[in-house]
């Protein structure tokens, strides 16, 4: 084998190695990427049951139900997350953040079951009275509940009672 052919084989093997490493890396990242969805997004296009994603919105007023935990077991909480237009039932086993309450912004991570119940593995509550997760702000804008050029967003406690903004010229 002459030098030119040997270099070609080395280059080919290097290209195959780099391509394989890239493919394996992308496959690993695909399993770990978690997308954000609002309840309206879920109603429009239901995600695959095995696909993990983040669900964000407001904890619907009057929807929190706590179950007593047996000795040594984690407490179970059921609630609904809403964006004003739609709501998704959520179940979570574990201790909720201190800032979790009805009418407040929340982002949950988990999977949607075949029965339509979102099974959360993590629940994140907002930081303070002025904080709003960017995903929740985007969902409110898409649902027509808030336009930034018109001022601050409506109070969090009223988000699940808002009627979507109507578009069009007729009444």
Q: What is the pLDDT of residue 18?
A: 95
Extract the residue ranges of the chain whose pLDDT is less than 50: 162-171
The reply to whether the predicted model has a pTM over 0.75 is no
| DSSP, residue by residue, the chain | --HHHHHHHHHHHHHHHHHHHHHHHHHHHHHH--EEE-HHHHHHSPPPTT--EEEEEEEPTT--EEEPPPTTSPPEEEEEEE-SS-EEEEEEESPPPTT--TTSEEEEEEEE-TTS-EEEEEEEE-SSTT---HHHHHHHHHHTS--GGG-SPPPGGGGGGPPPPP-SS--
What pLDDT score does 165 carry?
Answer: 44
What is the predicted pLDDT for the residue at 41? 86
């Amino acid at each position: 084998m002459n030098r030119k052919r040997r270099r070609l084989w080395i280059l080919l093997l290097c290209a195959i190695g780099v391509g394989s490493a890239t493919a394996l890396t992308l496959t690993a990242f695909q399993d770990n990427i978690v997308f954000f969805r609002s309840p309206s997004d879920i109603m429009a296009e239901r995600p695959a049951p095995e696909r993990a994603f983040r669900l964000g919105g407001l904890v619907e007023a009057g929807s929190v139900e706590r179950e007593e935990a047996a000795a040594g077991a984690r407490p179970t909480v059921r609630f609904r997350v809403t964006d004003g237009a739609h709501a998704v039932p959520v179940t979570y086993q574990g201790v909720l953040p201190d800032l979790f309450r009805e009418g407040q912004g929340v982002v949950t991570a988990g999977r949607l079951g075949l029965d339509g119940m979102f099974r959360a593995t993590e629940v994140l509550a907002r930081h303070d009275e002025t904080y709003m997760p960017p995903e929740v702000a985007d969902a409110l804008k898409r649902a027509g509940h808030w336009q930034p050029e018109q001022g601050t967003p409506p109070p969090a406690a009223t988000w699940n009672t808002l009627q979507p903004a109507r578009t069009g010229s007729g009444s």
